[in-house]
Structure 1
Amino acid sequence: MHTPSMSLQRRSLLATVAALACLGTAIHAGAQTGPYPNKPVQLLVASAPGGGTDAIGRVLADALTASLKQPFVVVNRAGASGSIGSEMLVRAPADGYTLLVLQNGHTVNPATMKKLPYDTFNDFTPIATLGRSPLVLVGGAQSGVKTFKDLTELGKRTPTSMSFGSAEASTRLATEMLAGATGLPMVPVSYKGTGPAMTDVAGGHVNFSVTTIASTLPMRGSGKVNYIAVLSPQRTTFLPEVPTLAEQGFPNIEASGWWGVLGPANMPKPLVQKLNAAIQAALGDAEVKKRLANLSIEPWSATPEEFDKFIRREVDLNIKLAKKAGIEPE
């Protein structure tokens, strides 16, 4: 027989247990409780300061800081074609407080690197795309090379002059495509970021580079670099005076840069959707569009699902391109 006092005691005990369970969950979640974000967000950039990826990361950080009312702080983690930053991300909690701004080297690494410290498909959550821009071939002014014909003639005369600064796996693959098309020996020189690579091109320490337009902007107008060709089907409005490779007799070489945002694996879907919506809203902002245009980057919006499919297609395509170019994973 249950007396009213016993029922009251039981209800009180159940309420206490429930409260303790909620408290335990809150303690376990720590600062993650409450609406996201309620503390600063670490925005990893897998390149050195001064390059195109760093620049677009800072544009995004400013926009999200303003819209989500918490600091988004850029943290540069350069090296190993972006894989150092990627590895740091996969070790982070899937709570949205550590994100990664990446470029297309992420989908080239599986084709050019023998062993990665992560699974390209299963260790990440695709969140949003950011922008696209064609790659460009530039040479140090001291080389005297102004056209692709000049480049091929130089390669035939002095093969040792064909050193290429490369900071990303994607630009290395594009360089190998040039080598395959021309039959010329090209010596890649690795850098931890596109900024240092361009500095050495301008200084004559390496002769050429295939890179994003954004990475060349600090040198534009300095007289230290020559724009030889843009690697897109048509001329770009960002460099209308620079001819395509197709115009110079090599129609089958195309390469572009792209940027996006990833999180660690298994991020909650509502959180991914919130971040995607915030990023897409930022890309539609007039000031953000202006800043991206100043970096020669065209905004590019996609859903997380579309971004995931794009990554998978790019990895497959790059593996095929690497095999065709004879690139052995290192």
Structure 2
Amino acid sequence: MTFPTRRATLGALGALPLARAGHAATASWPSEPIRIFVPFAPGGSTDAVARLAAPGLQKRLGVPVIIENRGGAAGSIGTDAAARARPDGHSWLLTFDSHAVMPVLVPNLSFDLEKDLVPVTQIGRAPYVTACQPAKPYRSMADVFAAARKGGVSFGSTGNGTIGHLVMLMMAQRRGVELTHLPYRSGGLAVNDAVAGHVDFMIGSAALLAPHLAANSLRPLMQLGAGRLPALQSVPTAEEDGFPGLSAEAWWGVFGPAGIPAPILSRFHAALVETYREPAIARQFTEINQAELVLGAPDALAGFVREQIRIWGEVARTNRVRPD
């Protein structure tokens, strides 16, 4: 018969209070306000997606839900804050598509996307759309590329390394033209300058541009989804406009610091899903913002991000894209 060593026995006994404490913390969660870090400035689609859910989460979880904007360095500042937070379920990250290319944009990251963060759910996705002020002479992207051959055409995006920026690089290369990129700290700032005509055109998610397209303060030129959106039936897709196989979708996902107890992660996931599926919120997200809810399992988000890193990370490396 083999008996446990004294060290093993003492270790097991010492672990009991910790285990009980862990169970108690899980049972009492949440015990303080919940912070959701948004690693971008207010006014963009990521901020809007987070604030859309805050009241419903607060109702379901019974504590205040605080949206904390920490922009800068391609989203790495806010992401670092979430990764370093205590893994007790009171701090989370709601981020955007540039999350997947962050290792390329910021080579000396202080955290590891896969080791220091755990996926919760992909909230949704929306195709990118190009648009310009109606006073501009462009009626299509063909007009934009024709003007670019003469030089001096600028476009705005929500930042270096976003999928919108990267797909514009790909389109310009395929057409053999150069476009001047103007990266903004948030989608709200990019839209403001596009509406004012300070930039020739911009690229942003359908969710970001939808109110301005509906108000005719921006004219849509191309959409980059697999098919035409219900509200943009007269606007061609990239595939239809001579870019076979090309599509680009913005996406929003939720992560937490590694080490969050599985029961807490599961409860927060359930609260998110229930909140975004509320009829009023789902309508806002899908009909008004022209986006699609996903709300999948954590493993699905992990696999999705790995694929995004493979696809868009290569584009960012090839073009030597760096943070704003």
Q: Is the 8 A contact 1:165 1:206 kept in 2?
A: no
Report the CA distance between 1:247 and its aligned residue.
1.9
Counterpart amino acid of residue 318 in structure 1:
W
Given the superposition, is the C-alpha separation of residues 39 and 153 from structure 1 closer, same or farther in structure 2, using an over 3 Å criterion?
A: same
* 2:213 counterpart of 1:220: yes
Measure the CA separation in 2 of the matches of 1:73 and 1:141.
37
The CA deviation string for residues 77-112 of structure 1, in whole angstroms up to 9 with x for no partner, is 122222221111112111111111111110022234
| 1:255 alignment partner in structure 2 | 248
Counterpart amino acid of residue 70 in structure 1:
V
Of the three residues 152, 155, 158, the one matched with 1:160 is 152
Measure the CA separation in 1 of the matches of 2:28 and 2:175.
56
Given the superposition, is the C-alpha separation of residues 101 and 162 from structure 1 closer, same or farther in structure 2, using an over 3 Å criterion?
A: same
Unpaired stretches in structure 1, ≥5 consecutive residues:
1-17
* 2:202 counterpart of 1:206: no
Report the CA distance between 1:329 and its aligned residue.
4.4
Given the superposition, is the C-alpha separation of residues 301 and 200 from structure 1 closer, same or farther in structure 2, using an over 3 Å criterion?
A: same
User: Pairwise mapping of residues 1-330 of structure 1 onto structure 2 (< 5 A)?
Assistant: 34-157=27-150, 159-167=151-159, 169-170=161-162, 171-293=164-286, 294-323=288-317, 326-330=318-322
* TM-score, normalization by structure 2: 0.86
How many residues are paired up?
304
Moved more, 239-248 or 254-263: 239-248
Q: Is the 8 A contact 1:80 1:192 kept in 2?
A: no
SS at match of 1:247: coil
Report the CA distance between 1:317 and its aligned residue.
1.8
* TM-score, normalization by structure 1: 0.85
Given the superposition, is the C-alpha separation of residues 168 and 283 from structure 1 closer, same or farther in structure 2, using an over 3 Å criterion?
A: farther
Measure the CA separation in 2 of the matches of 1:278 and 1:222.
33
Measure the CA separation in 2 of the matches of 1:183 and 1:264.
43
Counterpart amino acid of residue 41 in structure 2:
A
Q: Is the 8 A contact 2:100 2:313 kept in 1?
A: no
Report the CA distance between 1:222 and its aligned residue.
4.5
Counterpart amino acid of residue 264 in structure 1:
P
The CA deviation string for residues 30-58 of structure 1, in whole angstroms up to 9 with x for no partner, is x9575211221011112222211111101
Q: Is the 8 A contact 2:50 2:67 kept in 1?
A: yes
Report the CA distance between 1:265 and its aligned residue.
1.4
SS at match of 1:228: strand
Measure the CA separation in 2 of the matches of 1:227 and 1:266.
44
Given the superposition, is the C-alpha separation of residues 186 and 172 from structure 1 closer, same or farther in structure 2, using an over 3 Å criterion?
A: same
Given the superposition, is the C-alpha separation of residues 142 and 111 from structure 1 closer, same or farther in structure 2, using an over 3 Å criterion?
A: farther
SS at match of 2:68: strand
Higher Rg: 1
The percent of aligned pairs where both chains have the same amino acid is 28
Given the superposition, is the C-alpha separation of residues 277 and 141 from structure 1 closer, same or farther in structure 2, using an over 3 Å criterion?
A: same
Q: Is the 8 A contact 1:101 1:260 kept in 2?
A: yes
Report the CA distance between 1:218 and its aligned residue.
4.1
Q: Is the 8 A contact 1:165 1:201 kept in 2?
A: no
Unpaired stretches in structure 2, ≥5 consecutive residues:
1-12
Measure the CA separation in 2 of the matches of 1:252 and 1:148.
17
The CA deviation string for residues 203-252 of structure 1, in whole angstroms up to 9 with x for no partner, is 22222221111211342344442210001121112422322122222223
